[in-house]
Amino acid sequence: MKAVVMAGGEGSRLRPLTSRQPKPLVPVVGRPIMEHILLHLRRHQMRDVVATVQYLGSSIRNLTDIDLAAAARFHRERKSLATIVLKPVPNPLEYGVVVVDEGGAVQRFIEKPSWGEVISDLANTGIYILDPAVFDFFRAGEVTAWSGDVFPNLLKEGERVYGWVASGYWEDVGSHAAYMKANFDCMEGRVKVQIPGQRVGEGIWIHEDAEVSPSARVDGPALICAGAKVRAGAWVNGPCVVGPFTTIDRGAKVSNSIAWDHSYIGENSRLRGSVVCRSVTVKNGCTLEEGSVIGSDVVIGAGSTVNANVRIWPNKEVEPGAVVRESIIWAGSWKRGLFSSYGLTGLTNVEFTPEFAARLGAAVGALNPVGAEIAISRDYTRSARMIGRAIISGMISSGANVTDLSVMPAPVARFWAKHNRIAAMHVQTSPVDPRSADIRIFDQAGLDLDKRSERKLEGLFFREDIRRVSHYEMGRIVRREDQSDGYVAEMLSRLDLEVLRAAAFKVVVDYNNGAAGALLPRVLQEMNCDVIPLNASPVEILVEEDQVSFDAHLREIGSIVSAVKAKLGVFIDRPGERCFWIDETGAVLDHTAAFAVLAQLALAGRSGILLGPASASLAFSLIADELGSRFVPTKITPGAVLRAAQHAETVMASDGSGGYCWPDFAVSFDALFSTVRVLEMLAKTRGSLSSLRGRIPVVAHESALVFCPWDVKGRVMRAMMERHLRDRVDLTDGVKVFFDDGWVLVVPDADRPEYHVIASTSDAVRSRALVEEYSGLVRSVVEEMAPQVEAVVET
C-alpha cells in the first residue's frame, strides 16, 4: 500500500508559526509534524510514501495515532472505492462532517455546518484509503478537491464510499490553541508518539545532550530537547516544551509554553501560555502573556511586556520596556541602531553570531577605501576569539588589510591605534556579563567613532550596502603579537621613577584574569613595588558573578590589604579600562568617593580642568573650586567624556563608573596607567587614600529611574524647558536646574526607555524631595501621552 501525504497548504491560521516554514515543519514535542506522520506510517508498515506540495496541504496539520492497519482492513472488507477515516469531535462546526449508515456507507457530506445543520459529529480527518480506480473520476487540467468534488461525485455515481470511525487520537492543528493542545497531549500520554528524550520523572523528558542546572526546577509534563540549557534558578512549569539549543536563563519562569529551537529566554523573564518560534531573543525581565505568539528572529527588549493574544511576525524588534498591546505584522524591521552608549554590546552566539560579526567586519571595511589598514585586538576569551576572527573575514572580503594584534587590553589597543594612525577594533567579553560581548571601534586617534561615522556604518550594515571586492583585491592579514612595548615605554617615561622607587610601596593588585596581568607587572617592577598579585593568570571561559558576590570579592581584597599593610589595593576589570580602589585600611571606595579622592590628588599643586559626566556629584565642583581649578560637566556617555578630555587644560577625566583618563598620557580610560599614576601622586604628596577620603565634601546625591516610552522622551524635555524658561539651567546633557543649594538633572537614557532623575544638594531630605518632585513630572507627562502610545516598536 502506498501512502500519500498532502503537504501544501499555506497554514494562514497558524501564522506567524508558518510565516517562515510550511506546516509540515512546525514542531510538536521537538519533532516536525511531518516526522511524526512518517513515523506513524512506518509503524503500520507503509514504507512507500509520496508527499504532495502546494495542493490540498491543510491535511498535513493533523496529528494522529489512528490505527491505519485497521482502517485498511475495513476498506478491503467493504470492497470500497474510497474510505474516509472519521473521528467524533465535540465541536463539529469547524470541520467537514460526514453522515454514515449502520454499515459505514457514506450518505452525505456537510462542510462546516451551523448548529442547525449538525446531524453528525463525525469529522473528516483528511485520511483517505483509496482504490487506484478513484482517479478515473478526476478531470485532467482541473483543480479538484477531495471533499468538495471527488467524494460527492462518487456518491452521485453510486460508487462504494465508506467512512471508518477511528478510536485513536486525532487533532486538527489548525489554530494556535490546537497547536499547543497537540504538544501537551503528546506529553500527557493522550497520543502515541516518540518523544525525543529520556523519561526522568513523572511526565518529564530530558534529552541526554541537554543541560539542566541542579538548582533549576522542572515540573512535568515537560520536554527539554537536545542542546537546550535550563540555568540555575530557572523554572520550567509544565506543560512546556524547550526546543533544541534553546536557553532558559537564570531566574526565568516558563509556564504552559512552547519554545522552538535556538531561542533565548533572558534572566527573570516570565512566559505564560506563549509560543516562541525559532531564534527568538527574549531579553531580561520580559513578560509574555497568555496566548502570545512570537515569530522567528524576533528580539524582545529588556523589561518589555507582550500582552495576551498578541502576535508578533518574524524579524521584528520590540524596544526595551515597551508594552505591546496589538499584533505587529508590518511595522518594525531591525533595531534602533547598532551602537549603545558603550559601543556595540550583545549576547554571544545569540545576537553576536559569526554571521553578524562577519557582516559587521565587511561594513567596517566598506567604510574605508580598498586597501585601508585596520587593526583588531581582543581579550583572552574564546568568545572574543570567535567574534574577532569572523570580523577579520568580513573586513578582508571588502578589501581591507587587517593587522591582527591578538590579545591586548583595550587602552593599549587605543594607544596603538593613535600612535600608528590606524583605525582599530577591539573585541572583549563584557566585564559585567560573561554571556555578552563588547565590540569597540576606534578612529585613527584612538577615540570612539563620532556620531556621523556611527550612522554611516549603521547605514552600510542595515542596507547591506557592503562592498564585495574581486579575488585579487582581497585584503591581507598581518599578525603582529606583543605590540605593547611602546605603551610600556611611554608609561615609564611619564613617571617619576626615582620618587616611586624610593617609596617602595606594597600594593595588592587583582588582575581579574585579564590581559593587564601580562603587562602591568613589568611596570610595577620598574617602580620597585612589592606586589601581591591576585588572579593574574588569563582564562578563556569566564564564570558568571552577581553583584553580591563581586562586592564580597572586593571586601576580601580589602582584608588582604589591611592584613599585609599595603599602601592600597586595586581591582582592574578584564578589559583594563576601569578600576576599583581599596584604601590602606581595607575600606572599599565607591566610584563617587574614588573619583573625589583621585581628583584631589590630580589637582594638588596644579590648576586645570576636571572633567566628568553631567550626572556627577556636586562634590566635584566643590573640590575643584577649593583647589583653584574648575569642574566641567560633559555629556554622560563615556565616548563624550573622552572627546571632551582632548581639551588642552584637562588634568583628569572620569566617566563616574571607575574609568579614569589622564590626557597627558593618552585619551582613554586606562586602569593600568591610573594605578601607577595614583601611586606616583601618593609618593609625591606622602598622602593616603583614607586621609583624602575624609576630606570629601558632604553632599547628598540621590537618583531614580522613571520609565518613559521613546516616543514621549521629547515631550518630557519640552515640559522641563517650559517649566524653567527663566531659571538657571545647563543643557550639556538633559536639563539641569540649579538652586542655591545644588541642582536637579533630568536626562533621558540613550539606550533604554527611561529617564534618569538626579539631585545633588547639601541636604539628604532636600535631594530626595527634588528627585520625587521631578520624577512625578516625568510620570505626569508619560500618563498624559499614554493614549497616544500603545505598542512601541522599532520602525
pLDDT above 90 (res 265): yes
Rounded to 5 degrees, what are φ and ψ at 389? -70, -35
pLDDT above 50 (res 55): no
pLDDT band, residue 140 (cuts 50/70/90):
confident
Cβ neighbours of 404 (radius 10 Å): 16
pLDDT band, residue 517 (cuts 50/70/90):
very high
Count Cα neighbours of 173 within 13 Å in the Cβ-side half-sphere.
32
Residue 169, exposed/middle/buried by CB under 10 A (0-12, 13-18, 19+)?
Answer: middle
The DSSP output letter for 147 is I
pLDDT band, residue 735 (cuts 50/70/90):
very high
CA 369 to chain centre: 32
Report the pLDDT value the prediction gives residue 61, as an integer from 0 to 100.
44
Rounded to 5 degrees, what are φ and ψ at 231? -80, 175
CA-to-CA distance for 234 and 213, rounded, in angstroms?
A: 8
Helices 591-603 and 671-685: crossing angle in degrees, nearest 10, is 50
> What is the set of domains in the chain, with CATH numbers?
2-172 (3.90.550.10), 196-324 (2.160.10.10), 344-483 (3.40.120.10), 486-693 (3.40.120.10), 701-788 (3.30.310.50)
Where in 504-648 does DSSP place strands (E)? 506-510, 530-534, 568-572, 579-582, 609-613, 630-634
pLDDT above 80 (res 794): no
Calculate mean pLDDT across residues 239-252.
94
Calculate mean pLDDT across residues 43-55.
53
pLDDT band, residue 395 (cuts 50/70/90):
very high
Where in 47-160 does DSSP place strands (E)? 48-52, 62-64, 82-88, 96-100, 106-111, 122-130
Closest to 417 measured CA to CA, from 403, 429, 396: 403
pLDDT above 70 (res 790): no
pLDDT in tens, 690-731: 999 999 999 999 999 998 887 788 889 989 998 998 899 999
pLDDT above 60 (res 53): no
pLDDT above 60 (res 214): yes
Report the pLDDT value the prediction gives residue 96, as an integer from 0 to 100.
81
Report the pLDDT value the prediction gives residue 23, as an integer from 0 to 100.
56
pLDDT above 90 (res 487): yes
> Angle CA(273)–CA(275)–CA(278) in degrees, nearest 5?
155
Closest to 724 measured CA to CA, from 767, 685, 773: 773
Q: Is the pTM of this model over 0.85?
A: no
Are 673 and 519 contacting, i.e. CB atoms less than 8 angstroms apart? no
Q: For 138-152, 284-298, 754-768, which range has the lowest pLDDT when averaged over its residues?
A: 138-152
Count Cα neighbours of 61 within 13 Å in the Cβ-side half-sphere.
25
CA-to-CA distance for 647 and 628, rounded, in angstroms?
A: 18
Are 215 and 49 contacting, i.e. CB atoms less than 8 angstroms apart? no
pLDDT band, residue 789 (cuts 50/70/90):
very low
Supply the DSSP string of 181-246, one letter for each residue. Answer: HHHHHHHTTSS----SSEEEETTEEE-TT-EE-TT-EEESSEEE-TT-EE-TT-EEESSEEE-TT-
Are 465 and 459 contacting, i.e. CB atoms less than 8 angstroms apart? yes
Are 391 and 352 contacting, i.e. CB atoms less than 8 angstroms apart? no
Cβ neighbours of 485 (radius 10 Å): 9
Beta partners for 235?
Answer: 217, 253
β-strands 423-429, 436-442: how paired?
antiparallel
Calculate mean pLDDT across residues 101-107.
85
Q: Is the peptide bond before 431 cis (omega within 30 degrees of 0)?
A: no
Are 777 and 719 contacting, i.e. CB atoms less than 8 angstroms apart? yes
Closest to 177 measured CA to CA, from 277, 124, 256: 256
pLDDT above 60 (res 430): yes
pLDDT above 50 (res 59): no
CA-to-CA distance for 83 and 74, rounded, in angstroms?
A: 8
Report the pLDDT value the prediction gives residue 87, as an integer from 0 to 100.
82
Q: Which residue has the higher pLDDT, 333 or 220?
A: 220
pLDDT above 80 (res 580): yes
CA-to-CA distance for 40 and 186, rounded, in angstroms?
A: 14
In 325-360, which positions are buried (b, 16+ CB within 10 angstroms) versus exposed (e)? eebbeeebeebebbbebbbbbbbbbbbbbeebbbbb
Record the cell numbers describing residue 260, joined without a space. Answer: 522552538
Report the pLDDT value the prediction gives residue 389, as an integer from 0 to 100.
97
Are 121 and 92 contacting, i.e. CB atoms less than 8 angstroms apart? yes
pLDDT above 70 (res 33): no
Rounded to 5 degrees, what are φ and ψ at 570? -140, 135
Calculate mean pLDDT across residues 116-123.
71
Report the pLDDT value the prediction gives residue 483, as an integer from 0 to 100.
83
pLDDT above 90 (res 340): no
Report the pLDDT value the prediction gives residue 149, as an integer from 0 to 100.
76
β-strands 700-707, 754-761: how paired?
antiparallel
Record the cell numbers describing residue 346, joined without a space. Answer: 550583545
Beta partners for 530?
Answer: 506
pLDDT band, residue 351 (cuts 50/70/90):
confident
Q: Which residue has the higher pLDDT, 352 or 196?
A: 352
The DSSP output letter for 59 is G
Q: For 2-16, 359-373, 617-631, which range has the lowest pLDDT when averaged over its residues?
A: 2-16
Cβ neighbours of 783 (radius 10 Å): 10
Calculate mean pLDDT across residues 525-553.
89
CA-to-CA distance for 388 and 443, rounded, in angstroms?
A: 18
Q: Which residue has the higher pLDDT, 95 or 679?
A: 679
pLDDT above 60 (res 3): no
H or E element at residue 4: strand 2-6
Helix (H) and strand (E) counts for the chain? 19, 52
Q: For 3-7, 237-241, 333-337, 398-402, which range has the lowest pLDDT when averaged over its residues?
A: 333-337
Report the pLDDT value the prediction gives residue 176, as an integer from 0 to 100.
78
CA-to-CA distance for 154 and 517, rounded, in angstroms?
A: 84
Q: Which residue has the higher pLDDT, 481 or 659?
A: 659
Calculate mean pLDDT across residues 382-388.
96
Furthest CA-CA distance within the chain: 113
In 256-290, which positions are buried (b, 16+ CB within 10 angstroms) versus exposed (e)? ebbbbbbbbbbbbbbbbbbbbbbbbbbbbbbbbbe
Are 66 and 169 contacting, i.e. CB atoms less than 8 angstroms apart? yes
CA 400 to chain centre: 29
Cβ neighbours of residue 549 closer than 8 Å, sequence gap 6 or more: none
- Mean pLDDT of the chain, nearest integer: 86
H or E element at residue 644: helix 638-644
pLDDT in tens, 660-699: 999 999 999 999 999 999 999 999 999 999 999 999 999 9
CA-to-CA distance for 171 and 191, rounded, in angstroms?
A: 10
Q: Which residue has the higher pLDDT, 223 or 51?
A: 223
Task: Give percent above pLDDT 70 in the chain.
Answer: 87
Calculate mean pLDDT across residues 225-239.
93
CA-to-CA distance for 335 and 673, rounded, in angstroms?
A: 37
pLDDT above 60 (res 94): yes
pLDDT above 80 (res 505): yes
